Chain A
Amino acid sequence: MVMDIQRDQRRFKQIVRGRIRQNLRKYITHGEMIGRRGRDAVSIPVPQLDVPHFKYGKNGSGGVGQGKGEVGDPLSQPGEGPEGAGGAGSDPGSGHLVEVEVSLKELAEMLGEELELPRIQPKGTANIESEKAKYNSIRQTGPESLKHFKKTYLRALKRQITTGNYVPDDPCIVPVKGDKQYRSWNDVPLPEVNAVAIYMMDVSGSMTDEQKHIVRNEAFWIDTWLTNQYRGIETRYIIHDAIAKEVDEHTFYHTRESGGTRISSAYKVCADLIASTFPSEDWNIYCFQFSDGDNWGDDNRVAFELLNQKLLPVVNAFCYGQVESPYGSGDFIDSLRKEFNNHESLILSEIPDKDAIYNSIKTFLGKGK
């Protein structure tokens, strides 16, 4: 039976979800509002949420009088006396923010609904199998915590009937050691589709903290969506200026270099990573690259060669997002358009400011590849 409090809690959760959905664009744009709560959940400040509270009536609300007055003066009821000197404030209230915890799975679902993102169609067939323990059998031995009461008592009943110890008028069943039945597991092979997301970020001198903040926000939402689509997705990070290297997540988001921009260096590390660790026949590969597009001189030619020969043929999608630096966007995105005109695996997006993150995510993930 569902208790009232559970029903109320469910209703309250629905209201919270509705508010989050309403403000999702703001949360996407201002990623700093979202706090991490462990691996699988985030906390989100929800504004103007009417938290249920008690309202007191007038009865008994009068207290002991204080201030000027004579013995015998009547006390006015609340709301009836003359108004005090203080007036209503003219500034709007700051509003109450309630931090609500949302699982990343729920957040991804909201993102999918809000942006109308299609479900991703995994490349190839699900040909990787993993073993999963499933409690689907019964054994005579096992820990007491796994004892199957119903089967134990059924077995005891059978024994008592066959041995003539069962008295229908006085049905008393007492299991003995041999009657005990325990739940047990079997290893069940489960088909699993493997996926890897490789994030590449330009950390050269022309990329400021603001650009990296945009990249971080966008990468967070993309990661949330992909994690929802693929169980156990692998995530790898590459940073580059003139030289590229694979780094951990923290370094990816917190490094600032001052080197020149050679995008080909990141492509080379990415191609090597795919070749050595993520063979394309077994893996769904997603690459997300972010740069201000200010690539040095002759590097475009090398970068395009790597992209054409080693990356585009093996990835599900190669997404390039060009953020705008204080010096404006570079020419890399235009060169990509010219070189790979409408290539099916290449998705391009320009991100001039925070507000463009929303549409950029939709561009990247909207194809459901």
Chain B
Amino acid sequence: MKLRDDFVQELKSLVGQTNHQVSVSDGLRTIRCKVLQCDPLGAAISDLVLETGELATADIAKLETASKSLCGRVTYLLEPISPIEIDSTGCVVQMRSNPPHKDDNGLKYYELTLRQGGSVSLTRYEKQPANSRLPVPATLTHEVLSRLVEDFSIAVDEVLPS
């Protein structure tokens, strides 16, 4: 897959660098990723987004089906993912770690959204006791990042009319 391979190549070129915005495109789909820190094994990212105009007319039923399928494939993160809210008004499906990770410092979870328009995105959040929820860096290996790009792309394919 060209998009995935280009993204991995871009990541490799960023080893040792900090705060770099990655953007790779195959013409129809664009991967955007804010890389906070990158080393030979993995990277700390603030978010990972696949943007595409192919989802402009996607309906909520298809987005819901594709989100369930995406959750079934993305089993390699720190927590299992499942759809939490399906907003038919805004045509967005929100998926989160289910259950979220809890420890003495509060809780952490991934949030993925699949939205009409459209995009697929991933962000990690942290909620410390008595504090507001904040997005935090997600630390992922290059291999996991490349699999995410591939799975995001498959999710878009599943929404498109066959």
Q: In the complex, are the beta carbons of A327 and B87 less than 8 A apart?
A: no
Residues in B with CB closer than 8 Å to A204 are 85
Q: Chain B, 68-88, contact with A by CB distance < 8 Å: what is the 0/1 string?
A: 000000000000000111111
How distant is A356 from chain B, measured CB to nearest CB, in Å?
Answer: 13
Q: In the complex, are the beta carbons of A327 and B85 less than 8 A apart?
A: no
How distant is A294 from chain B, measured CB to nearest CB, in Å?
Answer: 8
How distant is B87 from chain A, measured CB to nearest CB, in Å?
Answer: 3
Which of A74-82, A259-267, A310-318 makes up part of the contact surface?
A259-267
Q: In the complex, are the beta carbons of B90 and A330 less than 8 A apart?
A: no
The yes or no answer to A351 lying at the interface (CB within 8 A) is no
Q: In the complex, are the beta carbons of B90 and A296 less than 8 A apart?
A: yes
Q: Chain A, 267-285, contact with B by CB distance < 8 Å: what is the 0/1 string?
A: 0000000000000000000
| Separation of A206 and B94 alpha carbons in the complex (Å) | 10
Residues in A with CB closer than 8 Å to B133 are 327-331
Residues in A with CB closer than 8 Å to B85 are 204-206, 241, 258-261
The yes or no answer to B106 lying at the interface (CB within 8 A) is yes
Residues in A with CB closer than 8 Å to B88 are 242-243, 259-260
| Separation of A206 and B132 alpha carbons in the complex (Å) | 17
Known contacts A327-B107, A327-B127; is A260 also within 8 Å of B100 by CB? no
The yes or no answer to B96 lying at the interface (CB within 8 A) is yes
Which B70-124 residues have C-beta < 8 A from chain A? 83-90, 92, 94, 96, 99-100, 106-107, 109
The yes or no answer to A334 lying at the interface (CB within 8 A) is yes
How distant is B31 from chain A, measured CB to nearest CB, in Å?
Answer: 22
| Separation of A154 and B102 alpha carbons in the complex (Å) | 84
Nearest-CB residue, chain A, relative to B99: A326
How many residues of chain B get a CB closer than 8 Å to chain A's CBs? 20
Q: In the complex, are the beta carbons of A242 and B89 less than 8 A apart?
A: yes
Residues in A with CB closer than 8 Å to B89 are 242-243, 259-260, 262
| Separation of A258 and B93 alpha carbons in the complex (Å) | 10
Per DSSP, chain B at the interface is strand
How distant is A3 from chain B, measured CB to nearest CB, in Å?
Answer: 59
| Separation of A349 and B94 alpha carbons in the complex (Å) | 27
Q: In the complex, are the beta carbons of B132 and A259 less than 8 A apart?
A: no
Known contacts A260-B92, A327-B100, A330-B133; is A206 also within 8 Å of B84 by CB? yes
Residues in B with CB closer than 8 Å to A258 are 83-86
How distant is A25 from chain B, measured CB to nearest CB, in Å?
Answer: 23
| Separation of A364 and B86 alpha carbons in the complex (Å) | 32
Nearest-CB residue, chain B, relative to A204: B85
Q: In the complex, are the beta carbons of A328 and B90 less than 8 A apart?
A: no
Q: In the complex, are the beta carbons of B96 and A327 less than 8 A apart?
A: yes
| Separation of A262 and B94 alpha carbons in the complex (Å) | 13
Residues in B with CB closer than 8 Å to A260 are 85-90, 92, 94
Residues in A with CB closer than 8 Å to B100 are 326-327
Nearest-CB residue, chain B, relative to A260: B87
How distant is B79 from chain A, measured CB to nearest CB, in Å?
Answer: 11
Residues in B with CB closer than 8 Å to A297 are 90
How distant is A195 from chain B, measured CB to nearest CB, in Å?
Answer: 33
Interface residues of A (CB under 8 A from B): 204-206, 241-243, 258-262, 296-297, 326-331, 334
Interface residues of B (CB under 8 A from A): 83-90, 92, 94, 96, 99-100, 106-107, 109, 125, 127, 132-133
Show 30 A/B contacts (Cβ-Cβ < 8 Å), sorted by A.
A205-B83, A205-B86, A205-B94, A206-B84, A206-B85, A241-B85, A241-B87, A242-B88, A242-B90, A258-B85, A258-B86, A259-B89, A260-B88, A260-B90, A260-B92, A260-B94, A262-B87, A262-B90, A296-B87, A296-B92, A326-B100, A326-B107, A327-B96, A327-B100, A327-B107, A327-B127, A328-B106, A329-B133, A330-B133, A331-B133
